[in-house]
Amino acid sequence: MIKSLHKAFDLLEYLSSAGDRAVPLSELASAIGEKTTTCANILKTMTERGYAARANTRGYRLGGAAYRLAGRESPEDEGLINAAVEPMRILSKQLDVSTVLAVLRDGKKRVLVSESGEGIIQVGKSYLADDRLLTTPTGIVLIASESDAFIKKLAERGLPDFYVSAEDLFARVDKVRKNGEIELNAYNEVSDAAVGVYKNKKLTASLGAYFPAYRHTEEFRVQLLKGLRDAAYKIEHNLLSI
> For 68-77, what is each residue's pLDDT tens digit?
787 777 888 8
Q: Are residues 100 and 42 in the same domain?
A: no
Q: What is the Cα–Cα distance from 207 to 89, expressed in whole angstroms? A: 12
Residues 45 and 92 in one domain: no
Residue 95 and residue 199 in one domain: yes
Q: Is the pLDDT of residue 86 over 90?
A: yes
Same domain, 224 and 119: yes
Domain boundary among 69, 92, 125: 69
25/86 same-domain check: no
Q: How far apart are CA 163 and CA 146, in angstroms?
A: 19
pLDDT in tens, 92-143: 999 999 999 999 987 889 999 999 877 655 556 676 778 889 989 999 999 9
Pick the last residue of a domain from 50, 69, 88: 69
pTM tops 0.85: no
Task: From 37, 69, 101, give the residue that closes a domain.
Answer: 69
Examine the domain organization and report whether 38 and 93 are in the same domain: no
Q: Are residues 153 and 232 in the same domain?
A: yes
Looking at the predicted structure, is the pLDDT value of residue 236 above 90? yes
Q: Does pLDDT of 25 surpass 70?
A: yes
Number of helices (H) and strands (E), helices first, in the chain?
10, 7
Q: What is the mean pLDDT of residues 18-37?
A: 91
pLDDT of residue 4: 85
Domain CATH for 44? 1.10.10.10
**How confident is the model at residue 43, as a pLDDT?**
93
Q: What is the CATH number of the domain that holds 82?
A: 3.30.450.40
Which is nearest to 194 in space by CA: 182, 176, 179, 178?
A: 182
**Are 101 and 205 a contacting pair, CB within 8 Å?**
yes
Give the CA dihedral 170, 211, 215, 84, nearest 10 degrees: -90
Do 36 and 153 lie in one domain? The reply is no
DSSP classification of residue 213: G
Same domain, 158 and 59: no
In this structure, the answer to whether residues 49 and 15 fall within a common structural domain is yes
Task: Let me know: does 49 contact 42? Beta carbons within 8 Å.
Answer: no
The average confidence (pLDDT) of the chain is 89
How far apart are the C-alpha atoms of 133 and 141, rounded to whole Å? 9
With CA atoms as reference, report the closest residue to 14 among 60, 55, 47.
Answer: 60
How many other C-beta atoms can be found within 10 angstroms of the C-beta atom of residue 38?
Answer: 15
Report the Cα 1 to chain-centroid distance in Å. 32
Q: How many domains are contained in the chain?
A: 2
12: left (phi over 0), alpha (psi -120 to 50) or beta: alpha
Instruction: Give the domain range for residue 97.
Output: 75-239
Same domain, 86 and 203: yes
How much of the chain, in percent, has pLDDT values that exceed 70?
95
Integer Cα distance of 200 and 204 in angstroms: 9
Q: 50 and 79 in one domain?
A: no
